[in-house]
């Protein structure tokens, strides 16, 4: 990833150079290994968190048998996703979901739901 | 990994140039941006709601002819006697509270140059972005005699909830013990592929209790029980031995309601109750807007980031009408709606939308009055391939059970709340 960042930084420098602008490179964040401006990562987190609402309830607030996510401890949520992925925690569909997202997404999702009161 | 230079223009379609030049809340009319959504189902209602939650500066008009929401998910539970029609009917009353303007009307035409939607009642509604989420339209002309049989009240599709489910349930109740119920399902792609198999399971549950000598014959346009196959077959063997006769590769071509005979490419089947789910295409308004642009002119291709039609700028399509490798399900419609809403918020505010959206697709099917099973798949958009790629590890459960029946019920409650609540 370090190498990739360096490449991106070079590309940004080239781009700004060509444009003749004196802008400094915006900080980047990663989604699935791809570099992005922070606004894109915020939009991505908002979008993937909203996917969870469908089963776990709007804003992760449950009113039925599927457990809620809102207000859960961030570290607990991250650990649970990793355990689902590795098959260390029993699940019906969560292993299938855990395999579809990466560690950075576990973290941003956990942060999102932990912050909901 | 290669350096990926994202091409913002590619995702923004023709709307981009204007969006980029604009200050936040760009609108063609100079005021707040206006999104018109057609269809208040799992796609349309969700999109309207999340547009307002995520950016209250966006004006949203939602056009829907029905005064209440009729849920297709759970409709098979009504046919099997597990629930009543009242359980399927949900209120739209919460949506105006988000600032959505509800218009009880049908969209009947779109002027995509002037960006105006025409409605049945003579309305002309201007939009900056149009979101079409009309669901499917049945291609009944592919089945000889279908329209006459449906008009006579002898054949149902039961694939839009509402009166068709009421009628089909009444027909099943009136059927004598020892009768034959025929379910015909179309070849893919179509709405809710697992639906016919769940329907067979829950009607068998009803027959087992009340008419145990009855039979169900499935004339299936698919080559096999294509969704949750091992799970359904195990449940049929366990709960309803000998009752469900599944006949694959058996596309229905004709129905005669006078003699109650269903004709497939291979055989004639005499039935007491007939349920034929015809092949489908994107809803009529998609045809009028010119976005049924796949090679067959049946479904609507979309940009996977914004759900905008590559053919018609400023027109977005959600849900079952979309041409894609995604399942045509409530869950996917809801998820697409949020991706579209999030992308529109970014575009209206002059920012780049998330170029890597992720779709989660979970669908539960009940196999009896106490067992269900899920399928779950994660699909990630790959901008290089311009396609949603199924992630490894997804798939269907091999068995149905009580735990998943509880989760199935919770899924209903939560997706209804997320869409309408």
**Confidence at residue B28, expressed as pLDDT on a 0 to 100 scale:** 53
**Confidence at residue A22, expressed as pLDDT on a 0 to 100 scale:** 41
Report the alpha-carbon angle B361-B366-B371, nearest 5: 115
Query: Residue B255 and residue B264: Cα distance in Å, rounded?
Result: 9
Q: B140 in the Ramachandran plot: left (φ > 0), alpha (ψ -120 to 50) or beta?
A: alpha
> B210 to each of B110, B200, B206, B414, how far by Cα in Å?
50, 15, 6, 32
pLDDT band at B30, cuts 50/70/90?
Answer: low
**Confidence at residue A32, expressed as pLDDT on a 0 to 100 scale:** 81
**Confidence at residue B26, expressed as pLDDT on a 0 to 100 scale:** 54
How far does the CA of residue A25 sit from the closest CA of chain B (Å)?
Answer: 15
Query: Residue A59 and residue A113: Cα distance in Å, rounded?
Result: 8
B90-133 tens-digit pLDDT: 999 999 999 999 999 999 999 999 999 999 999 999 999 999 99
Backbone angles phi, psi at B125, to 5 degrees: -120, 115
Strands (E), B168-282: 180-185, 215-220, 244-247, 252-256, 261-264, 268-270, 273-276, 280-282
CB contact under 8 A, B342 and A50: yes
Intrachain domains B8-65+104-138+281-354 and B144-280 with the same fold: yes
Two tokens at B249?
């590769």
> Is the ipTM, as predicted for this complex, more than 0.90?
yes
**Confidence at residue A11, expressed as pLDDT on a 0 to 100 scale:** 41
Give the whole-number percent of chain B exceeding pLDDT 90: 92
The string of DSSP codes covering B331-388 is: HHHHHHHHHHHHHHHHHHTT----SS-EEEEEEEEESSSS-EEEEEEEEEEETTTTEE
Residues in chain B with CB shorter than 8 Å from the CB of A66 are 407, 410-411, 414
Average pLDDT over residues B360-381: 98
CB contact under 8 A, A101 and B377: no
- B374: pLDDT strictly greater than 60: yes
**Confidence at residue B18, expressed as pLDDT on a 0 to 100 scale:** 42
A61-84 tens-digit pLDDT: 999 999 999 999 999 999 999 999
Domains of chain B, residue spans:
8-65+104-138+281-354, 144-280
Query: Residue B81 and residue B156: Cα distance in Å, rounded?
Result: 18
Determine if the peptide bond prior to B189 is cis (ω within 30°).
yes
Interface test with A, best of B356, B374, B388, B403 (most A CBs within 10 A): B356
A interface residues, B as partner, C-beta within 8 Å: 4, 7-8, 11, 31-37, 39-40, 43-44, 46-48, 50-58, 62-66, 92-93, 95-97, 99-101
Selection from B174, B158, B210, B160 nearest residue B369 by Cα = B210
B233-259 tens-digit pLDDT: 999 999 999 999 999 999 999 999 999
CATH superfamily for B8-65+104-138+281-354 is: FAD/NAD(P)-binding domain (3.50.50.60)
Interface test with B, best of A4, A31, A42, A96 (most B CBs within 10 A): A96
B144-280: which CATH architecture? 3-Layer(bba) Sandwich (3.50)
What chain A holds in terms of domains, given with CATH numbers, is: 1-36 (no CATH), 38-117 (1.10.760.10)
């Amino acid at each position: 990833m370090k190498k990739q960042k360096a490449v991106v930084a070079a590309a940004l420098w080239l781009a700004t150079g060509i444009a003749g602008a004196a802008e400094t490179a915006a900080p980047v964040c990663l989604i699935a290994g791809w570099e992005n401006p922070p606004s894109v990562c915020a939009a991505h987190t908002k979008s993937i968190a909203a996917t969870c609402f469908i089963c776990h309830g709007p804003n992760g607030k449950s009113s039925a048998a599927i457990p809620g996510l809102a207000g859960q401890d961030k570290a607990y949520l991250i650990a649970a996703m990793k355990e689902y992925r590795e098959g260390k925690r029993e699940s019906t569909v969560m292993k299938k979901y855990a395999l579809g997202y990466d560690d950075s997404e576990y973290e941003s999702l956990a942060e999102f739901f932990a912050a909901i009161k | 990994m290669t350096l990926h230079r994202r091409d913002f223009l590619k995702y923004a379609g023709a709307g981009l140039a204007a969006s980029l030049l604009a200050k936040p809340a760009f609108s063609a009319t100079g005021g707040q941006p206006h999104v018109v959504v057609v269809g208040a189902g799992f796609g349309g209602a969700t999109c309207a709601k999340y547009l307002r939650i995520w950016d209250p500066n966006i004006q949203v008009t939602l056009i829907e002819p029905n005064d209440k929401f009729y849920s297709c998910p759970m409709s098979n539970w009504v046919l099997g006697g597990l629930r009543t029609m009242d359980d399927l009917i949900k209120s739209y009353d919460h949506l105006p509270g988000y600032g959505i303007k509800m218009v009880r009307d049908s969209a009947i035409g779109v002027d995509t140059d002037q960006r105006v939607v025409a409605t049945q009642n003579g309305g002309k509604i201007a939009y900056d972005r149009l979101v079409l989420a009309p669901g499917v339209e049945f291609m009944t002309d592919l089945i000889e005699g279908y329209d006459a049989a449906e008009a006579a009240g002898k054949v149902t599709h039961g694939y839009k909830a509402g009166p068709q489910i009421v009628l089909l349930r009444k027909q099943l109740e009136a059927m004598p013990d020892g009768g034959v119920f025929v379910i015909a399902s179309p070849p893919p792609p179509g709405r809710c592929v697992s639906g016919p198999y769940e329907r067979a399971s829950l009607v068998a549950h009803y027959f087992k209790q009340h008419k145990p000598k009855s039979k169900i014959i499935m004339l299936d346009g698919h080559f096999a029980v294509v969704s949750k196959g091992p799970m359904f077959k195990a449940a049929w063997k366990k709960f309803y031995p000998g009752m469900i006769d599944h006949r694959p590769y058996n596309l229905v071509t004709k129905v005669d309601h006078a003699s109650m005979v269903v004709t497939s490419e291979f055989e004639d089947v005499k039935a007491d109750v007939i349920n034929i789910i015809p092949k489908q295409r994107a809803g009529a308004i998609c045809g009028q807007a010119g976005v049924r642009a796949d090679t067959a002119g049946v479904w609507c291709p979309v940009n996977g980031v914004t759900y905008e039609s590559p053919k018609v700028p400023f027109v977005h399509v959600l849900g079952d009408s979309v041409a894609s490798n995604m399942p045509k399900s409530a869950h996917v419609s809801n998820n697409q709606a949020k991706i579209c809403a999030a992308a529109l918020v970014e575009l209206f505010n002059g920012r780049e939308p998330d170029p890597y959206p992720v779709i989660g697709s979970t669908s539960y099917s009940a196999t009896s009055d106490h067992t269900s099973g899920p399928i779950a798949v994660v699909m990630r958009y790959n901008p290089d391939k311009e396609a949603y790629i199924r992630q490894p590890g997804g798939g269907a459960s091999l068995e149905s059970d009580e735990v998943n029946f509880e989760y199935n019920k919770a899924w209903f409650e939560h997706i209804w709340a997320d869409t309408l609540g």
